Every structure is written in structure tokens, then in C-alpha cells.
Amino acid sequence: MTKVNDANTNGLTTRTGVSGQRPPDNDSKLRAEKGGAPPREDPKGVKRLNLYIPEDLADELEAVANDYGVNLQTLIRRFIILGVSALQLGKEPDSGLIIRRNGVDRHIAFF
């Protein structure tokens, strides 16, 4: 059995000597045999991203998610989809994102 040490590099948890790669499958199977977490299959076509944000922003996001009855992961996905759509819209000539609040239009410009 080979011992694998955890290391933290630039905010990403990696395995020593295998930077950015998942541990071998036999490592997770050994943990499961010893009563640890069972091996996990990653969904196909999905990438995992870890995100560090200020605690006050995380608290605000959790409050908004609770207000809308969704989990934090769903809320962040929706924000990302909205942001990407807005950025793509901003590339088109004579197009833009306008937010109307209390009868006042505000043009939103990105980059």
C-alpha cells in the first residue's frame, strides 16, 4: 500500500506528486473498505470547481437561496448562466441589458 499525502497548493487540494489529478481508484476503494466514504463516480460531462469567496458574500448568497427555496449550488449555477447570457448579449451590436427598477431604466455594461 502506498501512502499518499494531501497538500494544499494555491487554494486547490492536491495529492503530493500528482498535482491536480484525482487519486487512483484503488485509494478510494481502500478508504471504503476501512469504513470511510464509499468510492464516488464523477458524473460524465461535468467539471468540479472549488470557489473561495468572502464569508459575507457567502452568507448573502445563502440568504437569497433560502428566500427562493433553492440550494446554494442551484443559485450559483443560475447566476453563472445569467452572467454568460448577459456577456454574450453585450457582444451583439445594438443590444444590451437593461434593468428597470421603479420605472427607471438602467443600462448594464460588462467589460
Q: What is the structure's pLDDT at 23?
A: 47
Q: For the chain, first and last CA: distance in Å?
A: 52
What is the pLDDT, as a whole number, of residue 3?
Answer: 38
Residue 31 confidence (pLDDT): 62
> How far, in Å, CA of 89 to CA of 110, rounded?
10
CA angle 15, 21, 27 (to 5 degrees): 60
Q: Are 106 and 99 in contact (CB under 8 A)?
A: yes
Amino acid at 66: N
Query: In this predicted structure, what is the pLDDT of residue 18?
Result: 39
Position 53 scores a pLDDT of 93
DSSP 110: -
**pTM score of the predicted model:** 0.56
Query: pLDDT tens digits, the chain, 111 residues: what are they?
Result: 333 444 443 444 433 333 444 445 556 566 666 777 766 777 888 888 888 999 999 999 999 999 999 999 999 999 999 999 999 988 888 888 899 999 999 988 877
pLDDT for the residue numbered 28: 59
Q: For the chain, how long is the longest CA-to-CA vector?
A: 68
Domain ranges for the chain, please list them. Answer: 1-50, 55-108
In the chain the beta strands, taken as DSSP E runs, fall at 6-9, 12-15, 97-101, 104-108
Question: Given this model, what pLDDT does residue 13 score?
Answer: 40
The residue type of 67 is D
Q: How many CA atoms lie within 13 A of 75 on its CB side?
A: 15
